[in-house]
Structure 1
């Protein structure tokens, strides 16, 4: 039996999976994302490709990459929270090494495909999938197909500017959604508030949001306020998205979604306040079903669609 390999490159971790034709994972691995240079990342990916190719009949490799990529040329144009990959031709690099077809797309878009094909969006023709983690991104399904945009930039909801002040994201945008509600932003804001210093400057990606959630669970009012604000601004952004796209469903995944009601309660309150009545009637806000491996499953399954010449995008 043949299999495809999915690789999901994130700001904090890289996930690998060998996937069968039905979206089932045979083997999976997860490793921290090196931050120093691209060679370390490439070496890790090559090691796991070699491992999987040695154990399974791998007919193709799909990769989810942060930020903006030229899907046709296989180049990571702007790799978001993994800046060392910027302008690398990942398709050529790994094809030349392994002589196996390689395809790339944005990491959130491949997670969106995973949820569309095998997860919460199986029965949806029009949907949005948003992931909350080191960054914040989204994927859009219109009439059953992936919308990439005119030059593969669609879905960068994290760049949406919501405030005139505050932290500045890795995109260089002050007061953006990603500078308010991403994991590193939550950690950075909390640290600054605790130390009584202005909430400004760059987001510090080394401060984990998990500390803030632990303190919030213990009743720390400052931590609770930071998380409440993060959820509230997420709800505002999602309401605008729903008003614009009119989807049947918004799927929310990523590590921060695991925080549950702490972030979903303020999110839903502001969403219900700002979403228009008519689009809100039809739109469900749901949790992702595939967990951390949605991107790897989507990337691996994307390979089969390419090889079978199934047009899954518009």
Structure 2
């Protein structure tokens, strides 16, 4: 059985073919997300149709399509119910209906961070855990909650939108995202721009400012973690995103800061880990979500 996994992000749309065990068949493609911020429009629906058509034209006999997407998703309807300004005019896009009516193929759609959590639950760091919180740190902070092996979506599909948690009179993601860390570093170094990698390279080179910026990031990050851990008490806390490629620097600091900030070790998760599936997590999770819809695949 060959299944197409598609991951729709604000900057790019990635796709690949997988089997029912979640193994890539090495058909990876990446396209720029077609958005026009000035006009407030996007052509994502047409792009998805073009991607699927291209795979079918190569003679690949698809059994279904799993889609991971930015935005708040009604996973039952497979429709975008809310999207931020990075993808204008996206609300109301009925991806599941579009794919099923156009190609007569079963389709399942879910939020990108929920898909990452599903992927980690199936084949990654969350495998075997009864409960975990999965966080992705990048431009913002995304979150997903898995309880008793299932994603908790909330009554309006918005559970896990932790980036908006208030931290020091601001949104958490404005204090503890990769973007925030880079902004802090650039301000202190009087630089026009930088990357997360540049900050950690400077840290490796003994830059005291880089070290202080990373410590500040950890402090802000832990502030947002506290209400999550007190409220949910997950077995595992999984954290991913580009800068967590340097987990050997970040995770020990986060763990140490958590131990001192929490009321008692009773409130700590059993395990604090980096995610394992990297940029593939969303696509693999979308495939897993599709496979869970047994009535779709027969």
Q: Same fold (TM over 0.5)?
A: yes
Q: Which runs of 4+ in 1 moved over 4 A?
A: none
Take 1:74 and 1:80, find their aligned partners in 2: how far apart are those partners? 18
Bigger mean CA offset, 88-97 vs 55-64 = 88-97
**1:98 maps onto 2:72 in alignment:** no
Take 2:79 and 2:18, find their aligned partners in 1: how far apart are those partners? 24
CA deviations on 1:17-61 (whole Å, 9 max, x unpaired) are: 211111111122334445525545444433322232334222221
State how 1:182-261 maps to structure 2 within 5 Å.
182-195=177-190, 208-261=195-248
Counterpart of 2:10 in structure 1 is 11
**1:147 maps onto 2:144 in alignment:** no
**Could you state the TM-score of these two structures normalised by the residue count of structure 2?**
0.86
Change (3 A) 1:89 1:182: same
Take 1:212 and 1:78, find their aligned partners in 2: how far apart are those partners? 33
Counterpart of 2:175 (choices 157, 170, 180) is: 180
CA deviations on 1:285-313 (whole Å, 9 max, x unpaired) are: 01112121011001012112113479xxx
Counterpart of 2:252 (choices 261, 265, 278) is: 265
Counterpart of 1:136 (choices 133, 141, 147) is: 141
Counterpart of 1:302 in structure 2 is 289
**1:289 maps onto 2:276 in alignment:** yes
Change (3 A) 1:234 1:32: farther
Q: Is the 8 A contact 2:79 2:95 kept in 1?
A: yes
Tell me by how many angstroms 1:123 deviates: 0.9
Tell me by how many angstroms 1:110 deviates: 0.6
| Uncovered stretches (5+) of structure 1, i.e. residues with no partner | 165-174, 198-205
Change (3 A) 1:53 1:232: farther
Counterpart of 2:69 (choices 41, 65, 68) is: 65
Tell me by how many angstroms 1:128 deviates: 1.2
Counterpart of 1:36 in structure 2 is 36
Tell me by how many angstroms 1:63 deviates: 1.5
CA deviations on 1:66-94 (whole Å, 9 max, x unpaired) are: 23122233332322363225312222333
Bigger mean CA offset, 26-35 vs 147-156 = 26-35
Number of equivalent positions: 290
Bigger mean CA offset, 32-41 vs 270-279 = 32-41
| Uncovered stretches (5+) of structure 2, i.e. residues with no partner | none
Take 1:216 and 1:81, find their aligned partners in 2: how far apart are those partners? 33
Take 1:44 and 1:75, find their aligned partners in 2: how far apart are those partners? 16
What SS does the corresponding residue of 1:260 show, helix, strand or coil? helix
Take 1:209 and 1:63, find their aligned partners in 2: how far apart are those partners? 28
Change (3 A) 1:77 1:191: farther
Take 2:271 and 2:182, find their aligned partners in 1: how far apart are those partners? 29
Bigger mean CA offset, 59-68 vs 36-45 = 36-45
